[in-house]
Amino acid sequence: MEKHMTVCPYCGAGCKFNLLVENGQVVGAEGLDGITNQGELCLKGMSGYDFINDTKILTPRILHPMIRRTKGAELERVSWDEALDFTAKKLLEIKEKHGADAILTTGSSRGPGNEANYVMQKFTRACIGTNNIDNCARTCHGPSVIGLIDTVGSGAMSVSIPNMENADCIMLFGYNPSASHPIVARRIVKAKERGAKIIVADPRIIETARIADIYMQINNGCNLAFVNAFANVIVSEGLMDKKFVEEHTSGFEAWWETVKNYTPEAVQDITGVDPETLRAAARMYATAGGSIIGWGMGVTQQCQGVHTVHQIAAIACVSGQIGRDNAGLAPVRGQNNVQGSCDMGMWPSLYPGYQKVADPAMRSKFAKAWGVSEDSLSLSEGCKLTDLPHLVKEGKIRAFYNFGEDPLQTEPDSIDMRETLENVEFLISQDIFMTQTTALADVVFPGTSWGEHDGVFSASDRTFQRFTAAVPPKGECKHDWQIFQELSTRMGYPMHYDDTKQIWDEVRELCPSFQGATYEKMAGVGYAQWPIPEVGHPGTPTLYQGGQFNMPDGKALLMTTDWKAPTELPDEEYPLILCTVREVGHYSCRSMTGNCKVLALLADEPGYVTINPADAEKRGIKDQDLVWVHSRRGKVISRAAIDERTNKGTVYMTYQWWIGKCNTLTMHATDPLSGTPEDKHSACQVDAI
């Protein structure tokens, strides 16, 4: 049996393991002593490999290129030459007629890796000539990236996942690690066993709430009021680290002007939290030796996601719980390489390595490196993925190049998204499976799958790790970076890389924070945690050591604002709140995990809707009954899961099911500062069938 070292493609924890190969088929996984997982794997890591073998459980692998010659025609199999020529001609026509900004591309935060994403953004910027490039972080942790850059200067975790085990207090806020990152949840359990205090603030009684020292069942949609009150207690009760605030922060006076109004009592009706419990939690957090706040999409997929992240950063700063080992900020990323997509500049305002497109010096540097004129690289921020529906309606986006994502499954208001994808003039989709989005495409490019190519992933805590091919590409599939460079060459901007190492060395050369992250350093179970500014540098497990923030004056900026209510509130017609969540055994749009034998056993469509017993009884619904869930956007069939851990007045659905798709119901309202959808708060009704 052959063994091939890889990194898990299912979450930002970055667990390392061997793929086991027999007779050309991937037949198993065995955990390695990686920096995060120390030999352990969760259900997905252990059982999520055999989609590579083209099991056809949910949908077959795409094994050859296809084109649709005219809208409404069938997709037909063609040669690579014909598919690439057809695509290059059409993109050039659109660019000529409507300008480069009429084209939007995406990165893939899943299997392809950093090298493919780097080449995609280079193709978008240097060949097409636009900053219209985005990735799924827009839908998930976009507010963390923006909110942390605003306040502390870097949009990533300030601590390491392994550090979490050594913290004295961990507060989880709108974050369910048992479902999202089971190996991170293991670290939290180990911290608890060591004596750490655990605080959980979540509307649902999530698994980690069971080991919490303090659990606060906050109301859905209260986040900013809650963190404002938390900050109020820290200052009012004299728990503030005055020296740290004076020496390492700015903006205290303006910040306090807002925070002073948010006593726990004043906002109890909004938060739903007993003031004494909130005070006890703030004391526990602020006085612990080292405290870490972990948050997830319960924080970010809200209409005030960025503002809430501003305040989370401020809480860490005013408490002095940042800038030293085992204390800091942990926005734990969902998809396995969403950190990498951001690292590689799949973001409309940033080049790779978080270098701003609006900075003329950066433009000059990238223009020189890529051999293009400065004028051809735009200084303007591009559009966002969540702008796609209205930009297509307005005729501003004519071509959409979808790479390794399925927005028709994962973006809100999927009826509107279907209309968008059907109406965009030219839709390219590059994937390994015939997803719902790919089925609508005018061009289908088959990329190689994780397990068939090499590359580097970025774990959520800024850790680069290498993964390697275990089996050869299936059918006519090409590596994603090969597809981009061949298309680019046909469009008049030649690119030629022989392998991923050449690409990665170019990334290192252009990104000061990544320069020491050589393939050699990442050999075996090796890793490189950025910033790693030179070869031989050990990497940086903890950001902002000594209170040195990545801000122009070196100081963290304290920011917050007033709470406002979510966009769509329950009413007589739609009296329940719908909140989207994750299923532990499945990943993203489910195209990968739904094609794995063991994981597919968990997939009994339609999906389920969890509902509190009182809400179910009121509607005459029994456990496992089929029910209708409907909202102002649409109606789906689902299966009721009566659950005491679900708070009254709210129902929860995972977004991964094809039948019973909850994004049929969600609303396309976004946080104005990040463009991230408010997936955690739509009004709905559930009826017995």
Task: State yes or no: residue 298 binds ligand SF4 (CB under 6 A).
Answer: no
Task: State yes or no: residue 65 binds ligand SF4 (CB under 6 A).
Answer: no
Interatomic CA distance for residues 623 and 309, integer angstroms:
37
Task: State yes or no: residue 278 binds ligand SF4 (CB under 6 A).
Answer: no
Calculate ∠ Cα 315-256-173, nearest 5°: 25
Q: How many CA atoms lie within 13 A of 406 on its CB side?
A: 23
Residues β-bridged to residue 441:
none
Task: State yes or no: residue 161 binds ligand SF4 (CB under 6 A).
Answer: no
Task: State yes or no: residue 527 binds ligand SF4 (CB under 6 A).
Answer: no
Task: State yes or no: residue 10 binds ligand SF4 (CB under 6 A).
Answer: yes
Task: Name residues contacting ligand SF4, limited to 42-61 (CB under 6 A).
Answer: 42, 44-45
Stretch that binds ligand SF4, among 12-20, 139-147, 316-324, 645-653 (CB under 6 A): 12-20
Task: State yes or no: residue 11 binds ligand SF4 (CB under 6 A).
Answer: yes
CA distances from 189 to 213, 330, 584, 623 (A): 12, 16, 17, 31
How near is the Cβ of 325 to ligand SF4 at its closest, in Å?
23
| Amino acid occupying residue 98 | H
**Under a CB-based contact definition with an 8 Å cutoff, are residues 370 and 549 in contact?**
no
How near is the Cβ of 640 to ligand SF4 at its closest, in Å?
28
Name the helix (H) or strand (E) containing 638: strand 635-642
Written as six digits, the tokens of 153 are: 């200067």
**Locus of tokens 């009994």:** 604
How near is the Cβ of 283 to ligand SF4 at its closest, in Å?
32
Task: State yes or no: residue 113 binds ligand SF4 (CB under 6 A).
Answer: no
- Look at residue 401 and give its three-state secondary structure: strand
**Locus of tokens 């998809």:** 335
Interatomic CA distance for residues 567 and 386, integer angstroms:
17
How near is the Cβ of 479 to ligand SF4 at its closest, in Å?
22
| Amino acid occupying residue 541 | P
Q: How many CA atoms lie within 13 A of 520 on its CB side?
A: 5
- Look at residue 278 and give its three-state secondary structure: helix
How near is the Cβ of 43 to ligand SF4 at its closest, in Å?
7
Task: State yes or no: residue 182 binds ligand SF4 (CB under 6 A).
Answer: yes
Stretch that binds ligand SF4, among 175-183, 421-429, 430-438, 519-527 (CB under 6 A): 175-183
- Residue of minimal CB distance from ligand SF4? 45
How near is the Cβ of 13 to ligand SF4 at its closest, in Å?
4
Residues β-bridged to residue 324:
327
Q: Which is nearer to ligand SF4, 2 or 40 (CB)?
A: 40
How near is the Cβ of 161 to ligand SF4 at its closest, in Å?
10
How near is the Cβ of 400 to ligand SF4 at its closest, in Å?
29
Stretch that binds ligand SF4, among 39-47, 96-104, 145-153, 309-317 (CB under 6 A): 39-47
Task: State yes or no: residue 37 binds ligand SF4 (CB under 6 A).
Answer: yes
Task: State yes or no: residue 13 binds ligand SF4 (CB under 6 A).
Answer: yes
Residue 78: CB atoms within 10 Å? 18
**Under a CB-based contact definition with an 8 Å cutoff, are residues 446 and 112 in contact?**
no
Prior bond of 672 cis (ω within 30°):
no
Q: Which of 206, 208, 207 is nearest to 197 (CA)?
A: 208
DSSP string, 413-464: -HHHHHHHHHHSSEEEEEESB--TTGGG-SEEEEBPPTTSS-EEEE-TTSEE
**Residue 580-609 contact track with ligand SF4, rule CB under 6 A, x = bound:** ------------------------------
Stretch that binds ligand SF4, among 41-49, 67-75, 389-397, 509-517 (CB under 6 A): 41-49
Number of chain residues interacting with ligand SF4 (CB under 6 A) = 14
How near is the Cβ of 334 to ligand SF4 at its closest, in Å?
10
Q: Which residues make up the interface to ligand SF4 (CB under 6 A)?
A: 8, 10-11, 13-15, 37, 41-42, 44-45, 181-183
